[in-house]
């Protein structure tokens, strides 16, 4: 039994360094070059949904370009989540530079059904996806949340979170059941370091 525990400790230390919070690792790559710098490896969509929705309902999101500017105000520091790796493009570019296959696999897992095209074949093609203009800058007028990650019905409508399938930004969206009107808020400036 002790041997099993010891083996698990070594294994855990050697590989993932996962915490009780879930999939948190110290390094992005197995080559141990890209430090995660405290960023979650996976996006905790339910936590983002809760924090974003609360900011919207308190009117804090009205004047903010990104929910990250306001969604942790007054929130217990123990549940504040740093920006996840997939939403940190400078970090993703470093990873693509060092290990394009791993980084591309990770992005494909993250984007899931929101990315409805063949996977990029190399770092250069993946970087092109990271350079996509967000829908609003590109003049599309709204984001497209066709494959959401989590949803939460509330009152007369439903909250959704996930990646926009057109620009791959992480978005909080509200859709009203009665008139199908929608509103949306981007979580992070994914371009910023
Ligand atoms: Zn979009």
Residue 173 pairs with which residues in a beta bridge? 160, 184
**What residue ranges do the domains of the chain occupy?**
28-186
Reading the block at residue 123, the tokens are 């770092």
Cα(145) to centroid(ligand 1), Å:
8
Q: Do residues 39 and 88 make contact, with C-beta atoms less than 8 angstroms apart?
A: yes
- pLDDT at site 119: 97
State how far the alpha carbon of 91 is from the alpha carbons of 39, 63, 78, in Å.
10, 27, 24
The confidence score (pLDDT) of residue 13 equals: 40
| pTM (predicted TM-score) | 0.85
Q: Which residues contact 87 (CB under 8 A, 6 or more apart)?
A: 43, 170, 187, 188, 190
Which pLDDT score, from 0 to 100, does residue 10 have?
37
Predicted pLDDT of residue 37? 87
Residues in the chain: 193
State in Å: Cα 129 to ligand 1 middle.
12
- 72: which 2 tokens? 């942790």
Q: How far apart are CA 75 and CA 77, in angstroms?
A: 6
Interval between CA 166 and ligand 1 midpoint (Å):
5
CA dist 75 and 55 (Å) reads 10
CA of 169 to the centre of ligand 1 (A): 6
Tell me how far apart the alpha carbons of residues 150 and 46 are, in angstroms, rounded to a whole number: 7
- Residue 65 alpha carbon to ligand 1 centre in Å: 14
Q: Taking phi first (over 0 means left), then psi (-120 to 50 degrees means alpha), and beta for anything else, what does residue 155 get? A: left
pLDDT value of residue 177:
92
Q: Which residues are near ligand 1, the ion (C-beta closer than 5 Å)?
A: 135, 143, 164, 166-167
Give the per-residue pLDDT at 25: 83
pLDDT block averages, 10 residues each, the chain of length 193 = 40 41 73 89 95 96 96 91 96 95 96 96 98 95 94 97 97 95 96 90
Looking at residue 107, what is its pLDDT? 97
Residue 4's pLDDT is what?
Answer: 40
Contacts of 31 (CB under 8 A, 6+ apart): 98, 99
Q: What was the pLDDT predicted at 58?
A: 95
Q: Which of 65, 92, 87 is nearest to 162 (CA)?
A: 87
Q: What is the pLDDT of residue 24?
A: 59
């Amino acid at each position: 039994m002790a041997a099993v525990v010891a083996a698990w400790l070594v294994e855990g230390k050697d590989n993932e360094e996962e915490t009780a919070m879930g999939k948190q690792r110290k390094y992005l790559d197995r080559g141990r070059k890209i430090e995660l710098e405290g960023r979650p490896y996976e996006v905790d969509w339910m936590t983002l949904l809760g924090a974003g929705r609360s900011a919207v309902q308190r009117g804090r999101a009205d004047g903010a370009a990104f929910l990250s500017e306001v969604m942790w105000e007054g929130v217990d520091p123990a549940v504040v989540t740093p920006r996840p790796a997939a939403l940190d493009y400078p970090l993703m570019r470093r990873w693509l530079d060092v290990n394009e296959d791993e980084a591309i696999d990770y992005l494909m897992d993250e984007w899931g059904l929101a990315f409805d095209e063949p996977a990029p074949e190399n770092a250069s093609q993946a970087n092109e996806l990271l350079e996509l203009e967000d829908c609003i800058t590109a003049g599309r007028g709204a984001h497209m949340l066709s494959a959401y990650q989590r949803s939460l019905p509330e009152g007369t409508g439903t909250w959704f979170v996930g990646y926009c399938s057109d620009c791959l930004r992480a978005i909080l969206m509200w859709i009203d059941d009665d008139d199908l009107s929608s509103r949306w808020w981007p979580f992070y400036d994914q371009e910023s370091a």
